[in-house]
Every structure is written in C-alpha cells, then in structure tokens.
Structure 1
C-alpha cells in the first residue's frame, strides 16, 4: 500500500490525486463563507452544576446544532496534556519508517487497528490527499490494546487516556443534547451510543498544489456524534446555507458535529451536515475524530417525542447494521443514503 507519509516531500501532485476542475475546492484563503464562525460553547463545570446555567448551555448547544449542525466546545474537561500527548504520538507513528507501518497497512475494515490512504469511497477514481489510522478505542480492554501498535512507545498509553476522557465528554454532550431537546436525560444512553467507539486519525501531508486536490470528500458521518480534535491548522469546511465555511481553529477546543443517526432519531431537528477537508502547501495537518456509534443491532427511528401531527415521522425504523450497509452502497452520499430510510411524502 502506498502511503503519502512514506515520502519525505512531494515536489508535484501525481495525476491520480488531481481532481477535475468541477470537483476542486477553492483555495483555503479564498474559501467562500470563511467569515462565518461556528458557535463556541463553554462547558465549564461550574456552569453545568447550576441548574439554571446548565439549561442555558443545553439550549445553546441545540440552537447551534439546529443552525449549523456543528459547534465548538471549550472548558470541556479533556486535559490539554492528554490531547497533546496523543496527537504527538500519532504524528510520530506517521513519521515512522515505511517498513514499521507496513504490518498495519490494510483495507480490511473489520480490523481493530489499521493504516490506509485516501478513502474507501474513491471508487478507484481520483485519490484523496490523506493517510489515516482507523481503530477501535473504547471500551478499552487488554485484548483491544494488543491490536494497537507498540511503537511509538507512548502510543498505547496516550490513546487509552485520550479515549477515556473524550468518551466522558461525549456522554456529557449527549446528556445536554437530550435535555436541550426536552427528552429524558438518558435518552442517548444504552444501545444508541453503546457500540464500539471508533477513531479516525487523519494525516494530510503538505501538498505541492492544494488547488487541484482534496483531503477528504464531502460527506456526512454515519454514526451518532463526532468529537474532533482539529489542532491548530485549518482545513475542515462545513456546509452552511448552500456554501462552504471554514472551521477556524479555536485553541484547546473540540469540534462537535452530528451524524446521520442524530438526524434520524430527532426526526430532522438536528441535521447531519456535509463537511470536507482541504489541503495546504505549508504544513502537515492532523485531525483526530472520535465517533460515537450505536450497537449494530440497535433499533433506530424517530423518537416518539420528536414526532407530531405538524412534524410526522420522516424516517422508517431500521437496525443500525442495515444503515452501515446502505452507507457503503451510497458511497457516503448524504441524499442517497437517507433515501433508503426516508418515508415517502417527506
């Protein structure tokens, strides 16, 4: 498998990474809508322990979700040292010699840890300027840790610590989202968020000509909730009112966005929004996405509380395993995958 990170530098963009003009993104500095900023929500513990202030935070999250499908959180309880530790260990992994990464290279999506390039949705056409680690990260067990790489030395311990703290943050957010929607506080607990937590560590090396490449295709996430560490290098864009906006880094923040399952269980109130990744020529960019998943046999459909005469059910019930298969068939296309589950007349 050819990894972009196996080459020290790229003097030019190989033809297989060059997109046709109609599929290219604007250069980062000229990105349309780059003046629009995502809401930033403060999760300071003191605020969450006060019922009145907690209600305001929950309302703020739902308001941001309804308008953008994305928001950023600060004072989230994940230690800065823990974030830095895992990001540094991941960067060291990508910097390792090719032969040390080779045993982990695989397109087998069932593996608990693997490294690959581009995306499985390029369908053998133009490739995306991206290497990535895809792994299971929670719940942590000795067996799971044994699948993680032993090098660099800090990788396993830093991943376990990072995963535990981010998982706790995700549960706090799900509780606040439920409260903000007027649902029972435990609505998202259990099978709906109890699947194996997945993680994508995306690595985008400096690109000689960002104007002809993409780091990652426009897509919506298939799961329930994403908690993303973007780092201090911009590159993520989200759809907003028909155009792309740049998600500018906020020091110490996590970016939160909703997956398809959130859209379906809230009957369209909190939508999953398309996003993509751009490349740049100056520095490498790395993002760490933690994906909160339902259990494979979880029955999913609009919550009864979110359905009314004015807002009838937009989606049929299904088992999450069925959604995963449909997502792959639709090659991550937002409209195509939702069409499988949409009730007619909506």
Structure 2
C-alpha cells in the first residue's frame, strides 16, 4: 500500500519525476475560465412543463455538449451529502483499515489502488487514488465493499440505487428524444454499473501533474458528483474550460457508446481532472456500462439512405480492449470502429 498517494504525498516537497506529464499534455496554468454556457437542467422544473420539454432540454445538451449538470434530480440531497462524507471518511482512514480492499489485480470487483489499473507499465502516474467496485445488482457485490467506515455499505447502497434510478430516467429521455423506442437502453447496454471514488491529495506542482488526463469515457453514460473543490475541466472548441462545482448537482457525461448508438447525433466530450496544491479533492463517479458481449452499433431506426451508419457493429469487450491497449483515450478511440468511405 506504500504506492498509494495517501501514504506519502503529504510529505512530498517536490513532484516525483514519474508524475510529471509531457509538455504537450500537462495542464500548465490551471486558471482557465469556467464554462458559462454549460447546460444546467432543473429536472423537476423541466418535467413540470411536460415530458416533451424535458426531452428537448436533455437532447439538446447531449447534442451540443455531451455533458451537462442536473439539479432537482430526485436523488435525496441528504444522501448525496452523506455519501460524499462517508467516501472522505474512507480515504481518511489509516492504511491498516483499508488493506482489505487494496489490490493491484484489475480483475477484482472491489479494489483500492493508485493511478490506473496498469501502474507498473504506465509511463506517467496519475495524481489520484481510486476506490472502485461493482454495484449492480447490489446484492451480488455488496459483501465485497469496504467494511469500514461501518456505515459505508448502507449509505453507498442507498446512493447507488437512487443514482441508478436517475440514470434510467435520463436514458429514457434520451431514448425518447432520438426516437429509439421504449426500453432501448435495456440490460445489455446498462448491465455493468460501477461506483468509483477519486481522491486527489494536494499536489506540490499542479502545473505538471494530472488527476486524470484528457479522455472521453468508454462507457454509455456517467453521473459524476463533485465536492466543493474545483478540478473538472472540459475541452471544447480547442480550449479548456472549468466546470464549476454546484452543491448536490450531478455532472452527466456521455460516453463513446452513446455516440455510436446515436450514429454521431450525440457527442462524447473530452475532459480531464486537474490537481491543486492546497486542498484534498474528492469526486464520485457512477458509471453505466454495457455487458462485455453486448453488440454495439448505430440504432437501426436512425439509419437510412441519407443517414448511413458511421460505425461498424462490435461487441463492447472488443472496444474496451482496444481502448485500454492503444491507450488512445479521447476521440481517436473510435477511429478503428468507423466505417471508412469507399
């Protein structure tokens, strides 16, 4: 466990060389402007004006940005706050209380680790520790989750169930907006759900390090909860823009599979996590993923003579293998799956 940042970073006076990113990808001056045009959807208010209104708001956000913030979303505010608290309590515990879930085996269904799954082979380490575990169906995995803090399992179970319900509601709005028919995003496309908590300790050189590099999500859709410390950035129109933390909001981020299924009507945005030199930052990610054998392809209802398929059909495990082996985590991850013009 000595690799964990929480084990040694507080004593670091300078940034170790193996955490220094190449010049072209390091953040440099991290004081970028906030994105003032990022869509903000009040889901309760949108639905109050009719389902069609909510569909249009969500669809436009997914088409124009691929990322938006949602408030009044139906996940209990006290639960949102308490889940962030219990996650921070977990990371604040001494190593001996976390040793049961620490693992360097990426196949473990619940594991605490540092940087990425491939720590030993990566050229540059990420300035983050991560706790990640499967959470669907809950009762298949909850026995693997951290035993401490003692309330962790109860709180995170309630949170996971409510965020999963929110994800179903958002996906149905997207489904209706695209005209895919009811329940298009069924078990095959949403059957692997992950709870992930990122811990970013204060960093001695935030201009040289990254918590997460520029990437697009490989999944279907992500629901991200920030704490009150800023650190999430969006790459849009050739520049980096900050995403302001909003209490109890979720940042909804479309993954590559949404872009493929929509035949390019929806976009998967490039984003990253920066560090800071003063504060611990924590984020919680609820990730909706297809099952490995699920066939991913542009929805047939969207395909016609004037709108031919842009992507070939593939199993999700083929895409994910390519995504991890090539380590091309942004827009280039889809290149091998595009249908080339003849």
Whole-angstrom CA distance in 1 between matches of 2:22 and 2:216? 22
Whole-angstrom CA distance in 1 between matches of 2:160 and 2:112? 18
1:314 counterpart (310, 314, 322): 310
User: Is 1:126 matched with 2:155?
Assistant: no
Deviation at 1:103, TM superposition (A): 2.9
Match of 1:345 in 2: 341
Deviation at 1:35, TM superposition (A): 4.6
Where do 1:260-339 residues align within 5 Å? 260-339=256-335
Conserved 8 A contact 1:226-1:259: yes
Where do 1:7-156 residues align within 5 Å? 7=8, 9=10, 10-29=12-31, 31=32, 33-44=33-44, 47-48=46-47, 53-120=50-117, 123-141=121-139, 143-156=140-153
Give a deviation string over 1:102-156, Cα, whole Å, max 9, x none.
Answer: 3322232221110111123674212111000111012111x41111111111111
Give a deviation string over 1:237-296, Cα, whole Å, max 9, x none.
Answer: 112112211111122210001111101100011111111100011211111111111122
Match of 2:219 in 1: 223
DSSP 3-state at the match of 2:217? coil
Conserved 8 A contact 2:270-2:331: no
User: Is 1:169 matched with 2:173?
Assistant: no
Give a deviation string over 1:6-25, Cα, whole Å, max 9, x none.
Answer: 23723322222122332211
Structure 1 residue ranges without an equivalent (≥5):
none
Give a deviation string over 1:175-230, Cα, whole Å, max 9, x none.
Answer: 1111122221322123122x221122101001122111111111111110101101
Whole-angstrom CA distance in 1 between matches of 2:305 and 2:269? 26
User: Is 1:232 matched with 2:228?
Assistant: yes
Conserved 8 A contact 1:206-1:280: yes
Closer, same or farther: CA 20–336 of 1 in aligned 2, 3 Å: closer
User: Is 1:248 matched with 2:249?
Assistant: no
> How many residue pairs end up in the alignment?
339
DSSP 3-state at the match of 1:165? helix
Structure 2 residue ranges without an equivalent (≥5):
none
* TM-score, structure 2 as length reference: 0.94
* TM-score, structure 1 as length reference: 0.93
Aligned-residue Cα RMSD (Å) equals 1.8
Deviation at 1:315, TM superposition (A): 0.6
Conserved 8 A contact 2:259-2:268: yes
Shifted more, 306-315 versus 278-287: the winner is 306-315
Whole-angstrom CA distance in 1 between matches of 2:30 and 2:324? 29
Deviation at 1:27, TM superposition (A): 2.9
Conserved 8 A contact 1:47-1:54: yes
Whole-angstrom CA distance in 2 between matches of 1:27 and 1:160? 39
Deviation at 1:47, TM superposition (A): 4.5
Deviation at 1:312, TM superposition (A): 1.0
Conserved 8 A contact 2:40-2:68: yes
Whole-angstrom CA distance in 1 between matches of 2:35 and 2:160? 33
Conserved 8 A contact 1:83-1:162: yes
Conserved 8 A contact 1:134-1:200: yes
Conserved 8 A contact 1:121-1:332: no
Deviation at 1:37, TM superposition (A): 3.7
